[in-house]
Amino acid sequence: MITHIVQWKVKSEAAGLNKAGILAKMKSDLEALPPSIADISSLSVGLNEKPSETASDIVLISTFADWEALDRYQAHPEHVKVGSFIKEVAVERRVVDFEQ
Relative to beta strand 2-10, strand 13-14 is unpaired
- pLDDT in tens for each of the 100 residues of the chain? 999 999 999 999 999 999 999 999 999 999 999 999 999 999 999 999 999 999 999 999 999 999 999 999 999 999 999 999 999 999 999 999 999 9
Q: What is the pLDDT of residue 66?
A: 98
Q: What is the pLDDT of residue 52?
A: 94
- Domains in the chain: ranges and CATH: 2-99 (3.30.70.100)
The answer, as to whether pTM is greater than 0.85, is yes
Q: What is the pLDDT of residue 42?
A: 98
Whole-angstrom CA distances from 25 to 58, 82, 89 are: 11, 10, 11
β-pair partners for 16: none
Whole-angstrom CA distances from 18 to 11, 15, 22, 63, 84 are: 8, 8, 6, 30, 18
Dihedral sign (CA 57, 91, 80, 76): negative
